[in-house]
Amino acid sequence: MSARAADTSVFLAACRREPVPYRPIWIMRQAGRYLPEYRQLRAKVDFETLTRTPELAAEVTLQPIKRFALDAAILFSDIMTPLQGMGVDLTFAPGPVVREPIRTEAAIDGLRALVPERDVPFVLESIRLIRAEAPRGLPLIGFAGGPFTLFCYLVCGRPEKEFETARAFLYSHPEASLRLLERLADAMGAYLAAQAKAGAQALMLFESWAGLLAPPAFERFALHAAQRTLAALRAAGVPRIYYVNQCGALLEAVAGAEAEVIGVDWRMPLDRVRRRLGPAKAVQGNLDPAALFAAPEELERQAERVLAEAGSAPGHIFNLGHGIWPHTDPEAVKRLVDYVHERSARPPHAVKATS
Ligand code: CP3
37-69 pLDDT per residue, tens: 999 999 999 999 999 999 999 999 999 999 999
Alpha carbon distance 204, 91 (integer Å): 23
Share of the chain above pLDDT 70, in %: 95
Contact 31, 64 (CB under 8 A): yes
- Beta-ladder partners of 143: 204
User: What integer best gives the mean pLDDT of the chain?
Assistant: 95
Of 16, 33, 179, 305, the active-site residue reads 33
Binding site membership of 74 for ligand 1 (Cβ less than 6 Å) = yes
Contact 195, 142 (CB under 8 A): yes
In Å, how far are 98, 146, 151 from 183, measured between CA atoms?
Answer: 17, 12, 10
Global pTM reads 0.95
Question: Taken in order 201, 292, 244, 57, is the CA torsion positive or negative?
Answer: negative
Of 71, 78, 119, 265, the active-site residue reads 78
Alpha carbon distance 241, 262 (integer Å): 6
**Confidence class for position 231, pLDDT limits 50, 70, 90:** very high
User: In angstroms, what is the span from residue 96 Cα to ligand 1's centroid?
Assistant: 9
Alpha carbon distance 345, 3 (integer Å): 8
pLDDT of residue 22: 97
pLDDT of residue 346: 64
- Beta-ladder partners of 285: 318
3-state secondary structure of 281: coil
Of 17, 22, 23, 29, the active-site residue reads 29
Mean pLDDT of 82-88: 97
Mean pLDDT of 207-219: 98
Q: If you take atom 33 of ligand 1, which residue's CA is the nearest one?
A: 95
* Catalytic residue status for 29: yes
Q: Which amino acid is at 247?
A: C
Nearest to 262 by CA among 124, 146, 131, 140: 146
Q: Which amino acid is at 308?
A: A
Q: Which amino acid is at 86?
A: M
Locate the ligand 1 atom nearest the alpha carbon of residue 30 and give its number. 1
The string of DSSP codes covering 188-211 is: HHHHHHHHHHHT-SEEEEEE-SGG
Locate the ligand 1 atom nearest the alpha carbon of residue 323 and give its number. 21
Of 4, 16, 42, 220, the active-site residue reads 42
Mean pLDDT of 182-207: 98
Binding site membership of 206 for ligand 1 (Cβ less than 6 Å) = yes
**Confidence class for position 352, pLDDT limits 50, 70, 90:** very low
Mean pLDDT of 162-175: 98
Nearest to 147 by CA among 110, 191, 195: 191
**Confidence class for position 137, pLDDT limits 50, 70, 90:** confident
* Catalytic residue status for 343: no
User: In angstroms, what is the span from residue 78 Cα to ligand 1's centroid?
Assistant: 6
Q: If you take atom 28 of ligand 1, which residue's CA is the nearest one?
A: 95
Task: Give, for ligand 1, the residue of 92, 191, 286, 325 to mutate: max count of ligand atoms closer than 8 Å to Cβ.
Answer: 92
Helices (H), the chain: 10-15, 36-42, 47-52, 54-67, 81-85, 105-109, 116-119, 121-133, 147-156, 164-172, 174-198, 215-217, 224-232, 251-255, 270-277, 296-310, 330-344, 348-354
The string of DSSP codes covering 240-267 is: EEEEETT-GGGHHHHHTSS-SEEEE-TT
Binding site membership of 96 for ligand 1 (Cβ less than 6 Å) = yes
Share of the chain above pLDDT 90, in %: 94
Burial of 145 (0-12, 13-18, 19+ CB in 10 A): buried
Alpha carbon distance 271, 277 (integer Å): 10
285-323 pLDDT tens trace: 999 999 999 999 999 999 999 999 999 999 999 999 999
* Catalytic residue status for 153: yes
pLDDT of residue 8: 85
Alpha carbon distance 75, 190 (integer Å): 17
Binding site membership of 57 for ligand 1 (Cβ less than 6 Å) = no
pLDDT of residue 1: 33
Binding site membership of 122 for ligand 1 (Cβ less than 6 Å) = no
